[in-house]
Every structure is written in C-alpha cells, then in structure tokens.
Amino acid sequence: MGSILIKDTTREEREQIVAESVGNISGACDGCAAGLIDMYQDYIDGKKEIRDINMEFRAHYESGMEVPEKSECGYAR
C-alpha cells in the first residue's frame, strides 16, 4: 500500500481509500456507514489528513477516569 497522504493521492483515490476502509457503504445496514463517510469528507475533499480526523474523533471519547472539578478560578484537586 502506498501513501494515503493528501499530497500523494487524487480525490478518486481518497474516495476509494475511505470506501474500502469503512466497508460496504451502499448495502443494507443500520445507516452507520453513511455517517462514517461524512466524517471523512474533509479527507476526501483534500482539506484534512485522515490521521487528524481520527485523532479528533478519538478525542471526543471520555476516558472514564475521574477528572478534577472546575472551580471559579481554575481546577480544584
């Protein structure tokens, strides 16, 4: 497999990379694949690298660890 960086791929190649990675986007499923394709639209359009999209997506998950509560002037311990 070659580079998947925007500078090394065409729009068509990026569409294919996303489609192959997500799986069957046109099949009968619960609708989740279409949402994943939308998530990677900036990559397909050449605006944002796929690794950046993945990092942003993971950052939205909560770790489940307790975090300090925020007080009026900052974080309390």
Give all strands (DSSP E) within 1-72, no chain letters: 70-71
- CA distances from residue 62 to 39, 57, 67 in whole angstroms, order as listed: 19, 11, 10
Predicted local distance difference test score (pLDDT) of residue 31: 55
Mention every residue, 6+ apart, whose C-beta is less than 8 A from residue 42: 48, 53
Structure confidence by residue, pLDDT tens digits, 44-71: 999 999 999 988 887 766 555 555 565 5
Strand partners, 70: 75
What predicted TM-score, i.e. pTM, was given to this entire model?
0.63
How long, in residues, is the chain?
77
Structure-derived torsion over alpha carbons of residues 58, 62, 68, 70, reported in degrees to the nearest 10:
90
